[in-house]
Structure 1
Amino acid sequence: MSEFISILTHGRRLKAAIKELSVEELKEVQLKLGKIIDDRIQEEAELRQQEAERLEKIAALKAAIADAGLSPEDLMDTSSAGTSVQTKRSRSPKPAKYAYTDEHGVRKTWTGQGRMPKAIVKALAEGASLEQFLLK
C-alpha cells in the first residue's frame, strides 16, 4: 500500500502510472477522488462537532460540580461512596519460623514460605528434621 501512496503523492510517478488512461477514465478517477475527499471532509467535520459537544458536556459538569460546592477530588473519594473498589493494603511481613546457619556461617531466618533455603535442604537430605530448625 505504501507503494501506491508513493505513486499517488508524487507528480511524475503519478503521471507515468496513468499515461495509458483515456481522458474519460481520468475524469472518472477525478470524480471518485472528489467523492472520497468530500466524504473525508464530512467525517472530520463530524468528529470536530462530536469533540466540541464532549467539551461542552465536560464544562457543564465542571460548572455543576463547582455549583454544588464540590471539587473533582471529592468525586474520586471512594471511601464514602460505598463502592466495591478495593485498595491494595500492605501487609506486615510474616514472622520468621525457622533459623539456620548458611554455608558461610551466618545465622539466618526463614518464614517457611517460598523456596526452602539450601542449607535446610542439605540438612534434611542428611537426615535432620525440620523441627530442629524451629525458633523457640
Structure 2
Amino acid sequence: MEELLKTLNNIRSLRLLAKEIPLEQLETILKKFELVVQERKEEEEAQQLVLAAHQEKIEKYKELLKSEGISPEELLEVMNLHRFNPSQHKKRAPRPAKYKYTDLDGSQKTWTGQGRTPKAIQIQLDKGVTLESFEI
C-alpha cells in the first residue's frame, strides 16, 4: 500500500507507469479517480455541515443559558453531581470463609470456596478426602 502511494505521489513514477498502460485504460483510471475524489469531497462537506450544525446548537444553548441567568459552571456542577463516582461506590463485603484447613507448614487457614483450590486442600482431595470434611 505504501509503495503504491509512493508511485502515485511521484510524477516520474507515474510517467513510467503511464508508458506501460494503454491510453484508453489511463482515461478509465482517470475517470475513476475523479469520481473517488468527488465522493470524498462530498463526504467531507457533509461532515463539515454536521459539525457546523452541532456548533450552532451549542451556541444556541449557550445563549439560552445566558438569557436564563445560568452560568456554564453551574450547569457543569449540577451535571457532575449525577455522574458515577467510583469513590462513592459501595464495596461489597468480603465473602465469609466456608472451609478450614491446615496448611503445609501446619498453620490453620480458611478458604471461601472461590478461586483456586489451596494446595493443602487439593492434596487431600487427590487422596480421596471429600471437600465437605473441610467445611466450617
TM-score, normalising length: structure 1: 0.60
Residues paired across the two proteins, number: 126
Contact 1:65 1:72 in 2 (8 A): no
Corresponding residue for residue 7 of structure 1: 7
Contact 2:100 2:134 in 1 (8 A): no
C-alpha deviation, 1:105, in angstroms: 1.5
Corresponding residue for residue 82 of structure 1: none
TM-align CA RMSD: 3.9
Residue segments in structure 2 that go unaligned for 5+ positions in a row:
none
More helix by share: 2
Work out the CA distance in 1 between the residues paired with 2:117 and 2:55: 58
1:82-135 Cα offsets, whole Å, 9 max, x none, are xxxxx975210012233221001122112234444332344454657735652x
Q: Determine whether 1:71 maps to 2:72.
A: no
- Aligned positions of 1:1-136 closer than 5 A: 1-19=1-19, 21-22=22-23, 33-34=33-34, 36-64=36-64, 67=68, 69=70, 71-75=75-79, 77=82, 89-123=90-124, 125=127, 127=129, 130-131=132-133, 133-134=135-136
TM-score, normalising length: structure 2: 0.60
Identity of aligned residues (%): 33
Residue segments in structure 1 that go unaligned for 5+ positions in a row:
80-86
